[in-house]
Chains A and B, each alone.
Chain A
């Protein structure tokens, strides 16, 4: 376990995304309502930066080839063939913590 503080929930606007580096690992932090998701910053398809994607509060779309995911559980939607990986998170007193023990990434063989 390597729990690190990410940010306060209030630091992010609702339905927004922010790139951050936590303990040397680049991540994308996404807020929908009071839920914060912490994911690897790149698309499982061709590793396009997901900060350039479109997030409507519920569905994340990579604009490169339109893969989409339900952010709540990372499940692929539409043309997407692979789920989003997520870092384990928890909230305490308005602060978000993520377990960044191992960098998550999308390889050819996964």
Chain B
């Protein structure tokens, strides 16, 4: 089936397979299209069907709430073409980034499922073929027998990865996360589509890094830090990392973060913000390279960063509310330019 996507500035055409999500068909063909979550929640892939018939693969998608009813609108990430289609965007067609790897489908098996806290697991996927991605990008991950795919940010970084690492938080009643927290998951086959996402880091940005993450939002930040630490980036630029969780029961990856500070004591600082608890005794002593504070993570960042936003690129990740609070702080207080902010809203 032939799909034509009309942006405000230009159009593109590509072929889509039967049942294939229109967004994924376009991306796989090397075209950039508007999207954020790729998984039916955010509404960023909203467009208007001008011609042709489509199938709605997830009529309950939360992202549908952004569509005007009766206006022929659809979510490109949740619709597949039944015949040749013409689709119109509300914006220009984005430019395909030179360095951005073209997303495609990957197969792999689940390995190394390890609990990190009472409700966070780490897991890896051993890929059939190596995959390149930019630090900070994510994959759409599917499990056999589970409807739809979930977006998970890679934690590790490698120019050509044979294994992808993820951290996942258990969501009450959540399809994917609860399966992962069950027994006998090692060796289960997985399908992935990606890499996706624009909250990515390349050494060419030449900025100091300000990373503000809530909960598993730290995933993509770890990948960014791993990439920066793999070259000499952190010898010439700073990285200030703010990692927010509720209580000391919810902290994870502290050893990895501490090791980074020990390696770059002059240029890397990591603050853990506990929103619901004052810092308990022993936590600082056990993690002498890390700073601990009580309060929301964007407030901790605001206090520590005041007057230090020179040549800074900010990366934000976490719940939509957490990301919006950090955005507000950076735009209003820090007066950081919006073009220097990259974010992923989880959900």
Contact = CB atoms under 8 A, between A and B. Distances in A.
Interface of A: 45-47, 54, 56, 61, 63, 65-66, 68, 78-79, 81-82, 106, 108
B88 interface: yes
A106 B8 CA distance: 13
A66 B328 contact: no
Interface stretch (B138-146, B286-294, B336-344): B336-344
Contacts of A81: 8, 91-92
Contacts of B328: 54, 63
A46 B338 contact: no
Contacts of B332: 54, 56
Nearest to A43: B90
Contacts of A45: 90-91
B48 A46 contact: no
B339 A78 contact: yes
Nearest to B339: A78
Nearest to B328: A54
Contact of B43 (A46, A54, A56): A46
Contacts of B46: 46
B134 interface: no
Contacts of A79: 338-339
Nearest to B88: A108
B75 to A, nearest CB: 12
A28 to B, nearest CB: 18
Contacts of B8: 81-82
A82 B92 CA distance: 10
A66 B44 contact: no
A63 B327 contact: yes
Interface string B322-335: 00100110011001
Contacts of A78: 337-339
Contacts of A56: 331-332, 335
- Give the bracket for the number of chain B residues in contact with chain A: 20 to 34
A61 B331 contact: yes
Nearest to B6: A108
A25 B90 CA distance: 23
B343 to A, nearest CB: 8
Contacts of B327: 54, 63, 66
28 contacts: A45-B90, A45-B91, A46-B44, A46-B66, A46-B90, A54-B328, A56-B331, A56-B332, A61-B331, A61-B338, A63-B327, A65-B36, A66-B338, A66-B341, A68-B338, A78-B337, A78-B338, A78-B339, A79-B338, A79-B339, A81-B8, A81-B91, A81-B92, A82-B8, A82-B91, A108-B48, A108-B88, A108-B90
Given A61-B338, A82-B91, 6 more contacts: A47-B68, A56-B332, A61-B331, A78-B339, A81-B8, A108-B48
A32 B327 CA distance: 22
Closest 4 pairs between A and B when the two form their complex, measured CB to CB: A66-B338, A78-B338, A78-B339, A54-B331
B88 to A, nearest CB: 5
Contacts of B337: 78
Contacts of B331: 54, 56, 61
A5 to B, nearest CB: 30
A17 to B, nearest CB: 13
A52 B341 CA distance: 18
Interface in B294-347: 324, 327-328, 331-332, 335, 337-339, 341
A68 to B, nearest CB: 6
Nearest to A48: B66
A54 to B, nearest CB: 5
B74 to A, nearest CB: 13
Contacts of B90: 45-46, 106, 108
B135 to A, nearest CB: 21
Nearest to A106: B90
